[in-house]
Amino acid sequence: MPGFIERDELLDPTKKHLENGSLILKATIQMYIDRPKFWSPKNRLGNDMLQLLESGERSDMTFLVNGQKYHVHSPILAIRAPVLADLVENNTKAKEVEVDDVDKAVFQALLRYVYAEEMPPHKEMKIIAQDLLKAADRFGCTSLKLLIEAELVRSGIKASNAANILLDADARNCALLKEKGFFFFFFFVVFFFFFFFFLCFFFFFF
């Protein structure tokens, strides 16, 4: 039988299974312990922070963006977006601080990241990525700026926006994005040059 040995074969001295009349067996033993699953509460910090932002409870300043009001908390801004916090400190006498040159959707996405590190959905990110990058750089949200830069490097550079992204990257000191944009732009220029050269060669000789 497979995996077994008969007694006669085991005792046969010609088979040399025994050593000085002794049989040595090696075995591997595995033990399985059925441990009970312990319940642990879900981390709700992000949800709680978003609820705080949306409710405006105990806020100490209001931003006005294109007619939309956002009630914020300056201690959170001081840690997560220091330039926004400076706007609050510089307008202590005003109840509202008006923010120009930023879209409402972009500013809301910025605040949601500041409070809960929530990134926009992928489809929305593709639309507002460059504007959100500008806002993150403008208001001192460095971690968001780096995340958007990585996202643009991964999937956002195309022939239609390479030049704009390269200019934005240079203006906002985005080294990784600038390198990627320059490489893409350089490749496109070289490709266009050889394509134009091939057409000229074709029409000239044929």
Quick one: pLDDT at residue 1? 44
Q: Are 176 and 150 in contact (CB under 8 A)?
A: yes
145 and 174 in a single domain? The answer is no
Distance CA(81)–CA(140), nearest Å, equals 5
Q: Are 152 and 163 in the same domain?
A: no
Question: What pLDDT shows up at residue 206?
Answer: 60
User: In terms of domains, do 201 and 115 share one?
Assistant: no
Residue 195's pLDDT is: 65
61 and 150 housed in the same domain? yes
Q: What's the pLDDT score for residue 184?
A: 61
> Based on the domain organization, do 204 and 117 belong to the same domain?
no
Q: What is the pTM of this model?
A: 0.67
Which residues span the domain enclosing 99? 45-156
Query: Within the chain, which residues score under 70 in pLDDT?
Result: 1-3, 92-94, 156-163, 170, 175, 177-199, 201-206
In this structure, the answer to whether residues 77 and 173 fall within a common structural domain is no
Whether residue 192 sits in one domain with residue 141: no
Q: How many CB atoms lie within 10 A of CB 202?
A: 9
- What local confidence, expressed as pLDDT, does residue 68 receive? 93
